[in-house]
Structure 1
Amino acid sequence: MGMKMNVSHVYLLLLLALLQITAPSSAQNTDSNETASVSSPADLVYRTVPSVVTVAVGKPAEFSCGVPKASPNLTFIFYGSHGNYTLTCPDGHLEYIPQALYGSCYIKNEESLAMWTLKGTSFSDNGSIVVCHQPMNPYAPVAVLHVYDSGFHHATLIGCVIGAFFGVLLVAALFFVTLQRSESLQKCFRGKETEDDMTWIVED
């Protein structure tokens, strides 16, 4: 009888030990499931990836980055010659930044989007970089801004030089005509006539 009791106690202890071993493992599985639900692999993607933008000087430029709405957090950083600016979505909103730079976040078509807009580019903006980063995602897409000269500014400069040249000619011509018609100006430029220059006729 005592032997049977000892065997039953052993079985009971083994059962308790088995339950203690399996309990932590089930808790760990629960935690991993919760982590997976918070940031599942399906949500760790970029639906909109910023792309390289090439524009003529003076034209606007836009960069966009988007992630699934289920995991809407992202950081969009603008690295420019006038400073670095960080836009944090989904609630970020930046404006009144030098160089007409504007940052905004919004939700569209089940996507959390961040956008940088440069309303007017200059040569100093050439080579500006944007970096998009989603938490828990090791991949961070990068894009570059290329600004080129379309020839418009050279044409404007040549036009200004030609216009200035003809303007000077026009002013000179008007001054010459006015000088020809104005006796007072002629006397001013000629100076006073001396008595030696005058011819007297004496009659006997």
Structure 2
Amino acid sequence: MILFNWFKKDKKNYPEFWQEYLACFESRSDKNYQKRYVVFDTETTGLDVRSDVILSVGAIAISGNSIIVNDYLEVFVQQDVFKTESVSIHGILKDGKEKKLTETQAIIRFLDFVKDSTLVGHHVRFDVNMVNAALQRMGLGKLKNHNMDTDIMYQKFKGLPEDQHSSLDELCQIFKIQKSDRHTAAGDAFITALIFLRLKNK
């Protein structure tokens, strides 16, 4: 993959999309600003952040206590790295019918969508690290967004020890949430958004 010489200390030397992303985190003077959450999920070739890559990203926005169904993102990434064994999990074929973007194009779309929103996910650190690895390949810094993990939220809600984790399937069962489009990035993002709202309101 081509590496871009964008890693400069002077912000003026960053690409425009990265400058616009960083500008979102400058001090906000609008007191009526309502916090926006973006619940997201990635499907990947595997679980090794060093060698695996993103295949798709699904994200949906939450404002207040509502999922904004028309404020969503779903992108698929060209598979320069293809692992047959992972297809049975995510169902994404190398030459599937989905329109695929380059990794760089997909990350630019993601940054433009999330802006300064708080990122939410189930075991969100993995997804954040996968995006950060892609940003590193582009010669850029890491995500600046705050993030929240529905697994950790559930631990705190139930008073569970930090090493007692719950899967997304387990939380769906606990909160009686239908598992539609499970193991797709967009489907898992929507399921996680429903769980997040349940936990947020408690």
Question: Larger RCO: Structure 1 or Structure 2 (Cα < 8 Å, ≥ 6 residues apart)?
Answer: 2
Structure with greater proportional strand content: 1
TM-score by length of 1: 0.24
TM-score by length of 2: 0.24
